[in-house]
Amino acid sequence: MTKLSFKHGLKDGIPIALGYFAVSFAFGVSVAGKGIPWYIATFMSASNLTSAGQFAGAEIVAVLGSVFGILLTQLIINSRYFLMSLTLSQRLDSKVKFLDKILMSFGITDEIFAVAVARGKPITRNYFLGLMLLPFLSWTCGTCLGAVAGYILPKIVLKSLEIALYAMFIAIVIPAGLGDKKIFFVVGVSVTISCVIYYSPIDNQTLTHLSCIICAVIASILGAIFFPIKINEEKHIETSSSSESTSLSIKEKGVENE
Amino acid sequence: MSRELHMFLLVVAMAGITYLIRVIPMILFKKKIKSNFINSLLYYVPYAVLSAMTFPAILYSSGNVISASIGTAVAMLCAFFKRSLVVTALIACATVLICEVFITYVFI
């Protein structure tokens, strides 16, 4: 069996990179609109490499929020990477060293994880680094261009791009929910609490910042109590051919296969 | 402390915690998580987070509830028919743009 090479990784990374470019461009535009300078936005993308986390983080950065608030927000939003990293750690090629892991960990995102695991072979250092490279460059450059072009594009186009990230989130949640109806229960609880906080007459900035965390914790705990997942339970979530929309369902399979 | 420095420090904090989440399981955990409760909770977290971030904020994303609502409905339809993330995002943007053009130049 030939091992997965750097070249295999680069090739598998191309579709991810294309997708990231569109989304990170929209992210850059949105961040520039919040008054964050383009170089901070670019640095954020280069150092974080996470969509949902950066999206929530940018809100806090824009209003110069607290370090504690941003740490807590990232911890909650990015906790899924914990699970992905755990799954990956069990599928690494035996030659992957400690230092390799230090480097590879940076590239764990929904899409990169999904593609690497979907290959079904032991994950080598070279393959994973190849896979990370183009999406990383595209995510960083897209953000930079978006943040810079944010001042050039007409206002009507900018306003239309704002919906891009939310639409992407919908494209993750709905197919997953169609495959596993229990997810819709959690989504329903989460959206309800989010709306209650949003429309409540209490005008408190801390509450607004913590809204996402409060919703996620309550909804996930209720989900885990009322609809616990059996680790060995076989679940088949229908997915489209796109590598991006398969990401979360593959993550789930990863849990079961361990 | 300047505005830029404050922003820079927040971004460094974000990057640090995010990296720790990614690297700790990779280097430490060799055994699988046995707790059904924790597994279930982690399984639901991404969906709970994403949906709380999306609603109701998406309805105000374009600055006009009508165009944003139509964009939301179209995005949900795309997602229902399992379009990819990128396709869904682009179609939603195009929908909002078309609505905005109509609202700005046709009805007024």
Point out the domain boundary residue: A113, A136, A161: A161
**Residue A166 located in a structural domain:** no
**Residue A167 located in a structural domain:** no
Task: Out of A52-61, A151-160, B13-22, give the one with best mean pLDDT.
Answer: B13-22
How much is the mean pLDDT over chain A? 82
- Tokens describing residue A114: 């999904």
pTM above 0.90, yes or no: no
Domain count, chain A: 2
**List of chain A residues whose C-beta atoms are within 8 Å of the C-beta of residue B91:** 167
| Residuewise pLDDT in 10s, chain B (108 residues) | 789 999 999 999 999 999 999 999 999 876 666 778 877 887 787 788 889 888 998 999 888 999 999 999 999 999 999 988 778 888 999 999 999 999 988 876
pLDDT in tens, A207-242: 776 777 788 889 999 999 999 987 554 333 333 333
- Tokens describing residue A187: 């989504």
**Residue A111 located in a structural domain:** yes
The predicted structure's pLDDT at residue B30: 66
Our separate counts of H helices and E strands in chain A read: 13, 0
The predicted structure's pLDDT at residue A165: 75
**Residue B64 located in a structural domain:** yes
CA gap A104, A117 in Å, rounded = 14
Question: Please, are residues A80 and B42 in contact by the beta-carbon 8 Å criterion?
Answer: yes
Question: Are B25 and B59 within one domain?
Answer: no
Q: How confident is the model at residue A133 (pLDDT cuts 50, 70, 90)?
A: very high
Question: Are A145 and A194 within one domain?
Answer: no
Contact A230 B36 (CB under 8 A): yes
Question: Please, are residues A107 and A78 in contact by the beta-carbon 8 Å criterion?
Answer: no
CA gap A173, A139 in Å, rounded = 22
**Residue A133 located in a structural domain:** yes
B residues 13-42 near A, CB within 8 Å? 13-15, 17-19, 21-27, 29-30, 32-33, 36-42
The nearest CA of chain A is from the CA of B105 a distance in Å of 11
**List of chain A residues whose C-beta atoms are within 8 Å of the C-beta of residue B93:** 26, 160-161, 163-164, 167
Q: Who among A75, A82, A160 is closest to B93 (CB)? A: A160
Looking at this predicted complex, what is its ipTM? 0.84
Contact A164 B48 (CB under 8 A): no
User: Which residue type, as a one-letter code, is found at position A136?
Assistant: F
Which residue range(s) make up the domain with B97?
A: 55-108
Question: Are A33 and A65 within one domain?
Answer: yes
pLDDT in tens, A166-207: 888 898 889 889 999 999 999 999 999 999 999 988 877 667
Question: Are A122 and A26 within one domain?
Answer: yes
Residue of chain B minimizing CA distance to A239: B82
Question: Are A195 and A132 within one domain?
Answer: no
Contact B49 A239 (CB under 8 A): no
Chain A touched by B77 (CB under 8 Å): no
Question: Are A118 and A202 within one domain?
Answer: no
Which residue range(s) make up the domain with A189?
A: 172-257
User: Which residue type, as a one-letter code, is found at position A61?
Assistant: V
**Residue B46 located in a structural domain:** no
* Across A90-112, average pLDDT: 90
- Is the confidence at residue A86, as pLDDT, over 60? yes
Question: Are A180 and A145 within one domain?
Answer: no
* Across A131-142, average pLDDT: 95
Question: Are A85 and A201 within one domain?
Answer: no
What's the maximum distance between 2 C-alpha atoms anywhere in chain B?
Answer: 64
- Is the confidence at residue A254, as pLDDT, over 60? no
B residues 47-66 near A, CB within 8 Å? 47-58, 61-64
